[in-house]
C-alpha cells in the first residue's frame, strides 16, 4: 500500500471539483492554529524592534536639552549679546570709585579706576616756560599718582579741548549701535554758519560720519563738531550739549560746564569750562577707543576725497615728540593755548593737561620738558 496520502475519487469515476471534507477538516485542525502562531510571532517581533520610550522619558530628554540650550546661550548684557568686551564696563551713573577695566582696544597703561592721589605731587619744577602755564596736571594712570599739579581743580576755558567730549559721545553711540561710521550725514544750514577752525561744510554736501570724525580730531573743525552733535541730538544741538554735561557728571568731572559742542562759544558767548584734572579723566575714557587714538595721532590726512588737506593741530604729534599719541589742543582768547596730551614711553602711559599759554610755542616747549621730567620719575 502506498505511503502517500490519496484523495478519494469521485463517485461514478469522475474527479472531484472541490476540496474534500477530509481535507477541509485537516486544514481547520492544523492550518488555522499555525497561522495564528505565525501572526503572533510577527507582531511580537515588530513591537520589540520599535522599542518605544515612555512619554515621560521623552519629555524629560527634551527638557534636559532645552535647559542645556538656555545655559549655553549668552544672556542679555553678556559679551556675545551686547558686543561688550570680556572685561566689564561700569553701569552708567555708577560711583566713580568703582574700579573699571579698559576694553581690549585700550592703549598701554590706561586704567579708569580709583581717584587720583595728589599726595606728594610737585607744584613747581623749574622747567622752561613753566611760569607761562595757567593751570595743569601730569598723572600716571597706572599708579593713580599725580606727579605735578598747578591749579588742577580750577575751572578755566578749554576751547577746542571740548571736542574730546563730542568724540566720546560719538564713540559711545557707535558702540551702542545708535549710529554707524558709514552713516551719511547731510550738512545743515546751522553747521554751515559755524566759524573758526573749519572744513567749510556746505548745505549741498553730505559726508559719512568717519570723514567728519577726521575733520574733528585732526583739523579741529568746529562746523563738523557742530554737525555731528546736532545729528546725535536728533536735530537739536541743545539736546546734545545736555548729554555732554550729563556725561561729565557721570565721569566725576566736577568742575566742567559745556555750552556748545566745539569750544568756540555759544550764542551768548559763554565759554566751556573744565579743570585740568577733569580733562585727564575725560582723556582716560577716550583712550579706550582705538579709532580716537588713531585719528588723534595722525599727522596729516585729507578731506573731500583728497581735495582738502588736514594737518594735525597738535604740534606734539605733528613734530613727533617721542611717544605722544594725542589728544586734543585748543585756543581762544579766553583760554589761551591749551592741550590735553597722552604719551607712552617704554610701556608706561602718562597723561597731562596744560592751559593758558599766550603762545603755542611756549606751550609745546613746556609739554616736552614736562614729559621728559615725568618719565624720569620712578613708578611707585
Q: Which three cell numbers stand for residue 98?
A: 568703582
Q: Could you say which of 220, 275, 297, 335 is catalytic? A: 220
Residue carrying the nine cell digits 548684557: 77
Q: How far apart are CA 224 and CA 229, in angstroms?
A: 9
**Dihedral pair phi/psi, residue 208, rounded to 5°:** -70, 150
Number of helices followed by number of strands (H, E) in the chain: 13, 11
Q: How far apart are CA 117 and CA 131, in angstroms?
A: 24
Burial of 71 (0-12, 13-18, 19+ CB in 10 A): exposed
CB burial of 239-273 (b: ≥16 within 10 Å; e: otherwise) equals ebbebbbebbebbebebbebbbbbbbbbeeeebbb
Q: Could you say which of 145, 150, 160, 328 is catalytic? A: 160
- Interhelix angle 163-175/237-250, rounded to 10 degrees, is 90
**Catalytic site includes residue 81:** no
Question: CA 229 → CA 43, 237, 245, 272, distances in Å?
Answer: 79, 6, 13, 15
Peptide bond between residue 327 and the one before it cis (omega within 30 degrees of 0): yes
Q: What sign has the CA pseudo-torsion 141, 347, 369, 328?
A: negative
Q: Could you say which of 145, 150, 163, 328 is catalytic? A: 163
In 3D space, the residue among 331, 337, 313 whose CA is nearest the CA of residue 217 turns out to be 313
Q: What is the DSSP letter of 257?
A: B
**Dihedral pair phi/psi, residue 133, rounded to 5°:** -85, 130
In 3D space, the residue among 292, 244, 252 whose CA is nearest the CA of residue 116 turns out to be 252
**Catalytic site includes residue 220:** yes
In 3D space, the residue among 124, 121, 109, 116 whose CA is nearest the CA of residue 147 turns out to be 121
Q: How far apart are CA 187 and CA 207, in angstroms?
A: 8
**Catalytic site includes residue 163:** yes
DSSP lists the bridge partners of residue 108 as none
Q: How far apart are CA 148 and CA 121, in angstroms?
A: 5
Q: Which helix (H) or strand (E) holds 218?
A: none
- Which residues form the catalytic set? 160, 163, 220
Amino acid at each position: 500500500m502506498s505511503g502517500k496520502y490519496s484523495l478519494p475519487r469521485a463517485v461514478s469515476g469522475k474527479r472531484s471539483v472541490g476540496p474534500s471534507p477530509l481535507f477541509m477538516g485537516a486544514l481547520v485542525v492544523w492550518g488555522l492554529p499555525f497561522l495564528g502562531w505565525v501572526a503572533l510571532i510577527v507582531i511580537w517581533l515588530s513591537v520589540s524592534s520599535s522599542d518605544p520610550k515612555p512619554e515621560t522619558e521623552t519629555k524629560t530628554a527634551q527638557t534636559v536639552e532645552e535647559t542645556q540650550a538656555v545655559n549655553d546661550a549668552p544672556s542679555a548684557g553678556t559679551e556675545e549679546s551686547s558686543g561688550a568686551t570680556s572685561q566689564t564696563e561700569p553701569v552708567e551713573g555708577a560711583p566713580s570709585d568703582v574700579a573699571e577695566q579698559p576694553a581690549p582696544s585700550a592703549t598701554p597703561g590706561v586704567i579708569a579706576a580709583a581717584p587720583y592721589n595728589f599726595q606728594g605731587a610737585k607744584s613747581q619744577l623749574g622747567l622752561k616756560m613753566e611760569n607761562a602755564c595757567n593751570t595743569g596736571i601730569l598723572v600716571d594712570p597706572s599708579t593713580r599718582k599725580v606727579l605735578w599739579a598747578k591749579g588742577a581743580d580750577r575751572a578755566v576755558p578749554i576751547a577746542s579741548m571740548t571736542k574730546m567730549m563730542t568724540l566720546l559721545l560719538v564713540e559711545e553711540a557707535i558702540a551702542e549701535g545708535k549710529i554707524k561710521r558709514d552713516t551719511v550725514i547731510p550738512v545743515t544750514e546751522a553747521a554751515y554758519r559755524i566759524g573758526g577752525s573749519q572744513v567749510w561744510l556746505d548745505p549741498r554736501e553730505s559726508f559719512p560720519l568717519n570723514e567728519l570724525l577726521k575733520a574733528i580730531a585732526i583739523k579741529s573743525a568746529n562746523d563738523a563738531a557742530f554737525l555731528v552733535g546736532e545729528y546725535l541730538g536728533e536735530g537739536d544741538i541743545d539736546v546734545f550739549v545736555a548729554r555732554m554735561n550729563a556725561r561729565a557728571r557721570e565721569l566725576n568731572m566736577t568742575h566742567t560746564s559745556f555750552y556748545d559742542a566745539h569750544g568756540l562759544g555759544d550764542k551768548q558767548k559763554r565759554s566751556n569750562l573744565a579743570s585740568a584734572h577733569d580733562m585727564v579723566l575725560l582723556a582716560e575714557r577716550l583712550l579706550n577707543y582705538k579709532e580716537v587714538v588713531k585719528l588723534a595721532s595722525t599727522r596729516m590726512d585729507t578731506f573731500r576725497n583728497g581735495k582738502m588737506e588736514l594737518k594735525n593741530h597738535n604740534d606734539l604729534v605733528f613734530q613727533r615728540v617721542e611717544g605722544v599719541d594725542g589728544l586734543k589742543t585748543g585756543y581762544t582768547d579766553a583760554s589761551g593755548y591749551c592741550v590735553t596730551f597722552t604719551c607712552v614711553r617704554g610701556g608706561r602711559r602718562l597723561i597731562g593737561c596744560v592751559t593758558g599759554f599766550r603762545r603755542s610755542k611756549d606751550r609745546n616747549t613746556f609739554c616736552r620738558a614736562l614729559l621728559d621730567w615725568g618719565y624720569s620719575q620712578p613708578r611707585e
